[in-house]
Each structure stands twice: as C-alpha cells, then as structure tokens.
Structure 1
C-alpha cells in the first residue's frame, strides 16, 4: 500500500514533542535536572500542535475530518482529543512557569502532561489495529509506535539539553534516556517485525529497506546516548545525530508499516477524502 506521509509525519512530530516533555519531566522527577523550562515546553507544544495539523493534510477536503470526529469511539477522535488535552496541559504548565507558581503545582501538571503524552504515542498506533489488515492486527504495532516515539523524543531531549549547555548529572541523564529510548525503539520495533514477519518477508515494495534503516537508526540513538555520557564536551554533536537518527527510526517504522498493510481498507481513506 502507498505510504501516507501526512499520517507518518503526524505521529512522528507529535510523538517527538510529547516525549521531549516527558524526558525533561523525568529528569526533574529523578532530581537530575531542573523541571521542564519555557523553551522545552514551547517546543513540545509546537511539535504536538503541528503534528496534529499534519494528521488531516492527506485529505483533499480537510473539512471532512469533522465527519470522523462525530464518532467518539474512532481512533481519529481519540487522537484528536488527546492532542487537544495535551496542548491544553502544556499551555497550563507554561502559564505556571511564567507566573512563578509553586513547584508542587508545576510538578502535578507536568506529571499529567507526561502521562497523557506517552499514552498518546501508544494510542496513535492502536488506532491502526484492524482485522482487514492482518499485518497490523497485533499489540506489537502500538508498542512499536510507542518505542520509536520514545527514541525520537529522547534524541530531541538530548539535543536540547546540549544546546542549553546542561552539564554534569543533567547531561548524563539525558544520555541515559537516549540509550533507554533507543533500546525501547529497537526491542518494540523488533517485536512488530516478528509479528508481521510473513507480511514483511513477502513485501516487494521497499518495506525491508525501511526496516533495515529503522534498526540502524535506533542503534545510532543508543550509541549517541552512550557517547554523550562519556564525552559530554561533544554532547551537541551527539545530540544532533541522536535527534536525526531518532526521527529517522520513527519514520522508518511507520513507512514499513504502511508498506506491509493490506489494501482492503483503502475505502477508509477514500471515505474521508
């Protein structure tokens, strides 16, 4: 099946934004760094919002998305609702920062944003689980979405910490999160490839190439995380590579997914178009 690039970019961009804030919040909760600052919050918000806008760009009549939103049980409705909720929470967190509100209040809102964000990246994948596409009908798919979004977000987090010239425990923890994010992407993407093994093996349209690119990219994220911990002076370079590799891994997983999909659900896209 043809890759729906708008839908690919939707989950990659918004997922990276959600995990950027989550990684920054985790550093605060583990007392390795300050709470997410204004720059990290704004970047997270913009990425989630822009990613949400990308989700309707594959439609020739964007207004048709309103028809899909009339069905609260649909995956599209759930994704849209969670993007809206996450953006509102991030906005509230930003206002708390600007007003200098108590640390406790910021922490509560930050943890809420963390939870909504990571659950959102899982649900982005679960919305594609359908019997008409056997290769997608596995919990391994949303888990792979979750894992590769973590890779992209952790790479972005490492890059932003390096840009802000964080040092010591903060930089080391960001490197550790990149290692964990890359490992999550590798393990969970491998689970999906195994679950869709027969479909992936039979694909003649580049799915294997994307799968190979996926695993090369997540290994790069892990390597950059390790190097950032061992060579913090070069953290900016490692962060930039980790960001590019994490985004590539997320794109590659989604591209491979579309290419192993059955064509029987084309009517779903046509109906909205």
Structure 2
C-alpha cells in the first residue's frame, strides 16, 4: 500500500518554521542596527508565510468542528495545541515588532520584541516537529526529528531574510554578520539531518534513494552550504550587496525549501506504513469477520 503523505501538515511545518526563523533573523538584525524599513518588510513577509502555514494546518482539520475542538482544548498542551500557541505568540510578536515604529516607544522596546520574538520563532519551528514524537512510531519517536525540523527551518529562514533584505538596501556590514550566523545554521543543519538519517538507518536510505540523495543530501545539505558560502565570499569581495547577491540568495532559498520539503516527505513515508496497517484492516474487516 502506497504511503500517504499529509501535505497540509508538511506545508504547515515548512512555511511556519521558515517564517518564524526568518522573523528571528529580522529581530537579530534589528538589534545589530539594521534599518527598520528592512526588518519590518522581512517581518511582514514572514508573517504572511506563517499565516499561509497556519491555513494549511486548518485545511488538514477538514471541518470547522475539528478546528473549534482544537481551539477549545488549547490548554491541553497536546502537540497540536502547542503548535497553535506558538503560532499565535510568534504572530503577536511580529505585529508588535512592526507597530513599535508607529508608536512612541523607546527603541529598547522594539529590540526586546525582536529578540524575544526570535526565540518564539525558532521554538515554533521546533514545535512543528515535536508533536510527532509518538512512542508507537519508532521512526518518529526521537528528539532528532524536531531538531532536524528546526535546522531546516533555520537555514531556510536565514536565506529568506537575506533574499528579501538584499532587495531593500540592507546594510552590508549587518548582513555580513548574519551570513556568518547562516553558515553556522548550515553546519548545524548538516549535523541534525545526518543524526536523523542515522536514526532511520541505511535500509531506509537505500529504499528512498532519490528523496534521500537528491532532496536531502544534495539540496538540503550540499547546496545550502555552497550558497551560504558563496554569499559570504560575495560580502568579502564587494562592499555593497548587488544583484548577484540577491540572485544567489534566492537560489539558496529554493534549495533550502526543497531540502526541508524532502525531510518532511521522508518522515511521512517512513511513518505512514504504521498508519497503513489500520487502513488495510478496515478495508478487509468483512473478510476477517466472516472467517
């Protein structure tokens, strides 16, 4: 039986995680002295991405009744309720971060909103993977999974920030510092993905060669490191962020999204086999009852 990938949940975790981590980079950039016009624009774009992710999650709930059940049981602190809580908290910090420029607050208030919001954005990425820790699913039941979710979201969020900010005249000095952080996120992504792949074992790699080799290793690891390294070299060679920098940023963002998507697809493929057992039993229940 073919495995069933829950695409709304795949897109929710990818978009919400990348959007939350992009906001984290905007908050750090603001603390480093980046112009408000740049950090606000990235935050608005990240807010839209997070909201799109949230809509994907709602689509998965299928009916308003299910959605209302989640809201009324939000304090149960189940996996889905924690995701919803962090989604709301991160969005609140995003809105507050932008509104600080329209209200006569001291600059320290916006800095605090940005840095605290950065933590909530990163934790949102972690929470979207932590809800899958289920003891009955050995391929999911490891903290290496949400850490891998976080690592793919961090590198995606970094390249999302660099792509948008470079089009808006971002400071080269601030950007060069953030690229170092992006490189560190890239190396962390390598360790996190390899750790989860090690948990799955070599047999799964052999049975999912294309997804593993092209999606995760090539796009999610190699191209992320190559593009972030290229961006770092470009900042060393030129005092300004040019069109080439923006182009490489968008290329890196595309590869990071493909890598993050591949990880989430593989997670469902290796875990859906357990769900298929229930589908198989339901389809053949009449045969079983007649025996």
Query: Is TM-score (shorter-chain normalized) higher than 0.5?
Result: yes
In 1: Cα distance, 2:230 partner to 2:203 partner: 36
TM superposition shift of 1:265: 4.4
SS at match of 2:5: coil
Give per-residue Cα distances to partners, 1:30-88, cap 9 Å, x unaligned: x3634663211211211111211111223432531322444413111110111111111
Is 1:238 equivalent to 2:248 in the alignment? yes
In the alignment, which residue of structure 2 is the partner of 1:79?
83
Stretch moving more, 89-98 or 54-63: 54-63
C-alpha change, 1:119 and 1:266, in structure 2 (3 Å) is farther
In the alignment, which residue of structure 2 is the partner of 1:253?
263
Unaligned runs of 5+ in 2: 236-241, 280-291
TM superposition shift of 1:100: 5.0
TM-score (normalizing by structure 2): 0.83
Stretch moving more, 115-124 or 161-170: 161-170
In the alignment, which residue of structure 2 is the partner of 1:60?
62
Give matches, 1:1-273, under 5 Å: 1-29=3-31, 31=32, 33-34=34-35, 37-71=39-73, 72-197=76-201, 200-201=204-205, 204=207, 207-212=208-213, 213-217=215-219, 218-232=221-235, 233=242, 234-265=244-275
In 2: Cα distance, 1:266 partner to 1:50 partner: 29
TM superposition shift of 1:118: 0.6
SS at match of 2:102: helix
In 1: Cα distance, 2:272 partner to 2:261 partner: 19
Cα RMSD (Å) of the superposition?
Answer: 2.3
Structure exhibiting the larger radius of gyration computed from Cα positions = 2
Unaligned runs of 5+ in 1: none
TM superposition shift of 1:262: 4.5
The answer to whether the Cα contact below 8 Å between 2:30 and 2:114 also exists between their aligned partners in 1 is: no
In 2: Cα distance, 1:226 partner to 1:198 partner: 29
C-alpha change, 1:98 and 1:268, in structure 2 (3 Å) is farther
TM-score (normalizing by structure 1): 0.88
